[in-house]
Amino acid sequence: MSQHPTSDAAVTPAAASDAAASVAGHASGGAPLSVHGDRHFDGLADKFSASLYGHLRGELRLSLLDRLLPEMLDLDGQPVLDVGAGLGQQAQWFLERGHAVTLAEPAGEMLDRAREAIDAQGVEASRVRYLTSPLQDLAGEAPGPWPLVVCHAVLEWLGDPRAAIDRLAALMAPGAQLSLMVFNRDALRLSNVVKGNLDKALEDRLEGKGQRQRLTPISPLTHDQVMAWTEAAGLRCEGVAGIRVFHDYLRQPPQNDNELDKLVALEHAYCRLDPHWRLGRYLLYTFRRPADPEGSPSPRDGGADTREETPT
């Protein structure tokens, strides 16, 4: 296994939680954070949509998820809780495949956009529910327990991502799966080095401050943190993949369709292979809550699908 710098590799759950709280405190000076120290996207729906889904990076993310979710999840039409549903792209994906979906999104403007998009699909009202709620409120508003919980690109915007994992685990039924995607701190460091931001990388000043309309996450996470916190929450890792393992390090974007096709092929070919998945801008995981309360502990680095190279 490749080693993180000591400050990441040696992290304990308690120390990591303290670090997350420190990040939130640093970000709070004048920043539009919630009472929990989280970054919500009220008033930023247009920027969020244009920044992420108006570019190739958004198309690649959705393309990879379209392939990876059926590979990494046991999908049989079970109800889905989509935590931090955003503009509803992922909810739409599950609705198209016959699932009933509850969308929980604290930013009302984002949830309204999701509702508009889903209504345009003609989805039966009985199959979809909308909650303008943060994760902290879901134990009371959507307790489940749920057979499938989806939480994509949310933890990096929270003041205490470790506590969020405990909350997600509490929403899961025995035997349930969690599809978790997080913004990769190590990839953010590498991206800064590639761009020439050497001082920022050396000083580990990678977190955003949550101010104005900037979209740098306030709590980017390492793989080691995710594995330590989920193991402590009693979850077992069943698979991991990298989302955009090459695209974000290109010196220039693809110049024609032929180059784009080659890039897409590379992303799909290497997204689950070690060491390439570790470079993903996002890390996509499948975790399971064991049906047996005495469930066997997960390996420190999790376990990828046996058809792929095991991350060690």
Indicate the annotated binding residues for S-adenosyl-L-methionine: 61, 84-85, 105, 152
Binding-site residues, please? Answer: 61, 84-85, 105, 152
DSSP letters for the chain = -PPPPHHHHT--HHHHHHHHHHHHHHHTTT--B-TTS-B--TT-HHHHIIIIITSHHHHHHHHHHHHHHHHHS--SS--EEEET-TTSHHHHHHHHTT--EEEE-S-HHHHHHHHHHHHHTT--GGGEEEE---GGGHHHHS---EEEEEEES-GGGSS-HHHHHHHHHHTEEEEEEEEEEEEBHHHHHHHHHHTT-HHHHHTT-------TT----SS-B-HHHHHHHHHHTT-EEEEEEEESSSGGG-SS---SHHHHHHHHHHHHHHTTSTTGGGG-SEEEEEEE--SSTT-PPPPTT----TTSPPP-
Dist. CA 185–CA 223, nearest whole Å? 8
